[in-house]
Amino acid sequence: MPGFEVFGEEEKQQVMDVFDTGVLFRYEFGAQRNDVYKVREFEQAFAAYTGADHAQAVSSGTAAVKVALAALGVGAGDEVITQSFTFVATWEAILDVGAIPVFTEIDTTLNMDPSDLEKKITDKTKAIIAVHMLGAPARIEQIKAIADAHNLPLIEDTAQSAGCRLNGKHMGTFGDIGTFSFDSVKTMTTGEGGMCITNNEALWRAMSEYHDHGHDHAVNPGGRGGEGRSFIGFNYRMMELQGAIGLAQLAKLDNMVESQRKNKAVIREAVATIPGVTFRDILDPSGDSATFLAFMLPSKEKAAAVNSVLRENGAGAINWSENSWHFYPQWEHLLGGKTPAQNGWPFSAHGKRRYIYDPDAFPISAALMERTLCYQVPVKLSDENRNTMAEALHKAAQL
Which positions are annotated as active-site residues? 186
Distance CA 289, CA 338 (A): 35
Q: Residue 228: what residue type?
A: G
Q: For the chain, how far is it from start to end, CA to CA, in angstroms?
A: 30
Q: Residue 81: what residue type?
A: I
Distance CA 323, CA 319 (A): 7
Q: Which of 157, 164, 137 is nearest to 82 (CA)?
A: 157
Q: What is the DSSP secondary structure assignment for residue 272, as one 8-state letter?
A: T
90, 82 contact by CB (below 8 A): yes
Distance CA 362, CA 359 (A): 8
Judging by DSSP bridges, how do beta strands 177-181 and 154-157 pair with one another?
parallel
Q: What is the DSSP secondary structure assignment for residue 349, as one 8-state letter?
A: E
Q: Three-state DSSP class for 215?
A: strand
DSSP 153-213: -EEEE-TT-TT-EETTEETTSSSSEEEEE-BTTSSS--BS-EEEEES-HHHHHHHHHHTBT
Q: Residue 311, Cβ neighbours under 10 Å: how many?
A: 12
Distance CA 184, CA 194 (A): 11
Q: Which of 137, 385, 182, 186 is nearest to 291 (CA)?
A: 186
